[in-house]
């Protein structure tokens, strides 16, 4: 479906603080790239640059060979799952999941179909009319995941999506995640500082340890 | 032993607390209560010496006089329109400004914030003569705009500062998620951020409304036409049949009439504020 490429990506805050230095890599359709490293090593910075939330100082981000480096985050057709889930607190789960589709003014029937399909897959059917405040941590995490999956984006970006869950739940969700993303034919970039997580989730052996 | 002493201390404290609250309430509300009593007394009872505090005869004639013999509906509408327009304008300008000053890369942001802070410290009476000249130059005398524009401007700094502190409390991730979902800045502000800052909007809105509703000096100077006067000015200018008669009853009634909309507004929105705070429940 898509290929994500980074070419000589650089992010410089000051001459002595260069979290991302000449990073070049390619993530193909069914690849699950894990960026592993301690906090502050530039993995999140890389992810934010791919998403377009921060501009890289130099270098390019390419999707299917098109340069998206200067595009707005919303126009890049990428979905992102945040560590804090970042659900909209005033909207119920259904509205959270459907938000991006409604903005694109997709036909209401299709939106409903897609939301149903995703929520069935993630076991969210019963929870769709609840607000994030009425959901447990694990449930919120699944809503955040559903919000990304429903878009059927060109690229998935996940920023430590499991680190807010307790240990037991984390293992369970990790297995689920692996299954879900194996079924998606889209590049996945996954940021974590947890080695076990990185090793379990990788599909092809593409695990960048960032210094 | 300890139990007993702490218990008796509690009882003692409870009595002291009750007394303190009663004293505070009497201190704050006595003038208002006095105005209310005056407004329902007959003229004879108002003027006798010694004072009659709790009259035996009551009348609504002061109120009916306000609306039958004077255009008090008109004054209420003027005050209402000017206050609502100032409040909405203040929020419509102040909120995007506050957001920009929180999250957008605005050049020399700190200088702008410093200037805004200084403006709030500026005694507004000093602006008065300058504003009079400006209003005259633009031909805005006896025009609603002559009050709406200054009221908005005077309240903008506070609105911006309060809204900014609320925007700062919102997690950055929420805005990032909205950007990735494809919201542009306007949509994000309206559909994601404003619903979450509703309590702040209501609070600053009420402050602006109260200021505009009560303001006297500008309203007195910029509005000389009878049909355009606001409640505080109209109340102050109530006069009796002759130069030597002060119409205490109608003045008291006008004060009550002018206060009721504020009380209703605050009570109504106070419930909204509390609801907004509990329904938000972001943490969990």
- Rounded to whole angstroms, the Cα distance separating A29 from A66 reads 15
pLDDT at B7: 57
B282 in contact with chain A, both atoms CB, cutoff 8 A: yes
Q: Which of B173, B182, B282 sits opposite A133 (nearest CB)?
A: B282
Nearest to A98 by CA among A61, A148, A137: A148
Which residues on neighbouring strands pair with residue A25, listed in sequence order? A6
The answer to the question of residue A30 being in a domain is yes
**Ramachandran area for residue A55 (φ above 0: left; ψ -120 to 50: alpha; else beta):** beta
Q: Which of B73, B120, B14, B78 is nearest to B219 (CA)?
A: B78
pLDDT at B280 over 50: no
Tokens of A160: 């430590």
**Residue A144 in this model has a pLDDT that exceeds 70:** yes
Tens digits of residue pLDDT in B170-205:
888 999 999 999 999 899 999 999 988 888 888 889
Does the pLDDT at position B277 exceed 60?
no
Instruction: Quote the pLDDT of residue A205.
Output: 47
| Cα nearest neighbour of A50 on chain B | B180
Tell me: the pLDDT tens digits for A68-93? 888 899 888 899 999 888 999 989 99
CATH number, domain with residue A58: 3.40.50.300
Segment B34-41 mean pLDDT: 91
Percent of chain A with pLDDT over 90: 24
For the record, the structure tokens of B233 come out as: 């000015």
Domain count, chain A: 1
Using the Cα atoms of residue A116, residue A117, residue A120 and residue A124 in order, give the sign of their dihedral. negative
Chain A positions touching B195 (Cβ under 8 A) are 90
- Average pLDDT of chain A, as a whole number: 85
User: Is B71-280 in CATH node 3.20.20.70?
Assistant: no
Q: What mean pLDDT comes out for the span B197-226?
A: 90
Kindly tell me if the per-residue pLDDT of B21 is higher than 90.
Answer: yes
Is A173 contained in some domain? Answer: no
Nearest CA in chain A to B198: A90
Residue A49 covered by a domain:
yes
Query: What's the confidence (pLDDT) of residue B279?
Result: 46
Write the residue in B183, B196, B280 that is nearest to A74 by C-beta.
B183
B177 close contact with A: CB closer than 8 A? yes
Task: Report yes or no on A123 lying in a domain.
Answer: no
Helix ranges restricted to H, chain B? 2-40, 43-47, 61-68, 72-103, 109-121, 128-137, 144-169, 172-181, 185-187, 194-196, 198-214, 217-222, 231-236, 248-280
Distance CA B223, CA B146 (A): 8
Find out whether A46 and A61 touch, Cβ atoms under 8 Å.
no
Q: Per mean pLDDT, which range of A10-14, B104-108, B151-155, B232-236 is the poorest?
A: A10-14
For residue B228, pLDDT over 60 is answered with yes
Size of interface A-B (CB pairs under 8 A): 70
Q: Which residue in B83, B87, B141 sits closest to B258, CA to CA?
A: B83
Render pLDDT for A171-197 as a digit per residue (tens, 0 to 9). Answer: 888 888 888 888 888 888 888 888 777
Instruction: Kindly state whether residue A115 falls inside one of the protein's structural domains.
Output: no
What is the C-alpha radius of gyration for chain B, rounded to an integer number of angstroms? 24
pLDDT of residue B284: 34
User: Complex ipTM above 0.90?
Assistant: no
Asked if residue A24 belongs to a domain, the reply is yes
Domain membership of residue A63 (yes or no) is yes
pLDDT at B121 > cutoff 50: yes
What single DSSP character describes residue A17?
B
Beta-bridge partner residues of B144: none
Residue positions counted in chain A: 211
Separation CA A113–CA A119 (nearest Å): 10
As a whole number of angstroms, the distance between CA A18 and CA B99 comes to 29
Query: Around A208, how many Cα atoms within 13 Å sit in the side-chain half-sphere?
Result: 20
Query: What's the pLDDT band for B282 if we cut at 50, 70, 90?
Result: very low
Residue A47: pLDDT above 80?
A: yes
The whole domain housing A23 covers: 1-75+189-211
**Predicted pLDDT at B8:** 65
Instruction: Look at residue A111 in the predicted model and tell me its pLDDT.
Output: 93
Looking at the complex, report in whole angstroms how far the Cα of residue A149 sits from the nearest Cα belonging to chain B.
Answer: 12
Distance from CA of A104 to the nearest CA of B (A): 8
- What b/e readout covers A149-181, taking b as 16+ CB neighbours within 10 angstroms? bbbebbbbbbbbbbebbeeeebeebbebbeebb
CA-closest candidate to residue A101, choices A110, A92, A93: A110
CA distance B282 to B284: 7
Q: What is the spatial distance between Cα B1 and Cα B7, in angstroms, rounded to a whole number? A: 10
Predicted pLDDT of residue B232? 93
Q: Is A57 exposed, middle or buried (0-12, 13-18, 19+ CB in 10 A)?
A: middle
Name the maximum alpha-carbon separation found in chain A. 53
Share of chain A residues as helix, strand and coil, in percent rounded to the nearest 5: 35, 25, 40
């Amino acid at each position: 479906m898509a290929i994500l490429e980074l070419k000589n990506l650089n992010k410089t805050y000051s001459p002595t603080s260069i979290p991302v230095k000449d990073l070049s890599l390619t993530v193909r359709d069914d690849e699950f790239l894990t960026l592993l490293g301690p906090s502050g090593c530039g993995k999140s910075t890389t992810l934010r640059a791919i998403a377009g939330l921060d501009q890289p100082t130099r270098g390019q981000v390419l999707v299917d060979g098109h340069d998206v480096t200067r595009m707005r985050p919303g126009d890049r057709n990428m979905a992102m799952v945040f560590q804090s889930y970042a659900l909209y607190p005033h909207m119920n789960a259904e509205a959270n999941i459907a938000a991006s589709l409604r903005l694109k003014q997709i036909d209401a029937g299709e939106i409903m179909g897609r939301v149903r399909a995703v929520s069935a897959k993630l076991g969210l059917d019963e929870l769709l009319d609840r607000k994030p405040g009425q959901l447990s941590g694990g449930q919120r995490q699944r809503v955040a995941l559903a919000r990304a999956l429903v878009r059927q984006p060109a690229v998935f970006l996940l920023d430590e999506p499991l680190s807010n869950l307790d240990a037991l739940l984390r293992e369970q969700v990790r297995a689920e995640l692996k299954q879900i993303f194996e079924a998606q034919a889209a590049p996945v970039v996954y940021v974590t500082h947890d080695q076990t997580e990185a090793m379990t989730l990788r599909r092809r052996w593409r695990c960048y340890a960032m210094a | 032993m300890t139990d007993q002493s702490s218990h008796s201390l509690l009882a003692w404290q409870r009595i002291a607390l009750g007394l303190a609250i009663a004293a505070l309430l009497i201190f704050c509300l006595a003038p208002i209560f006095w105005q209310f009593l005056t407004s329902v007394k007959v003229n004879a009872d108002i003027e006798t010496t010694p004072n009659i505090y709790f009259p035996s005869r009551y009348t609504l004639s002061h109120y009916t006089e306000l609306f039958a013999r004077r255009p008090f509906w008109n004054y209420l509408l003027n005050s209402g329109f000017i206050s609502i327009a100032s409040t909405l304008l203040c929020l419509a300008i102040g909120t995007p400004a506050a957001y920009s000053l929180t999250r957008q890369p605005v050049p020399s942001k700190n200088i702008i914030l410093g200037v805004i802070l200084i403006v709030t410290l500026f005694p507004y009476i000093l602006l008065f003569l300058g504003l009079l000249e400006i209003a005259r130059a633009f031909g805005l005398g006896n025009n609603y705009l002559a009050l709406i524009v200054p009221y908005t401007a005077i309240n903008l700094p506070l609105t911006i500062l309060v809204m900014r502190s609320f925007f700062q409390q919102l997690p950055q991730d929420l805005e990032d998620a909205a950007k990735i979902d494809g919201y542009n800045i306007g949509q994000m502000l309206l559909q994601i951020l404003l619903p979450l800052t509703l309590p702040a909007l209501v609070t600053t809105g009420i402050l602006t409304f109260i200021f505009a509703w009560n303001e006297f000096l500008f309203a007195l100077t910029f509005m000389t036409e009878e049909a355009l006067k606001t409640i505080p000015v109209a109340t102050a200018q109530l006069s009796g049949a002759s130069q030597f008669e002060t119409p205490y009853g109608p003045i008291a009634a006008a004060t009550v009439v002018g206060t009721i909309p504020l009380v209703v507004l605050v009570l109504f929105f106070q419930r909204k504020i509390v609801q907004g705070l509990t329904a938000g429940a972001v943490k969990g």
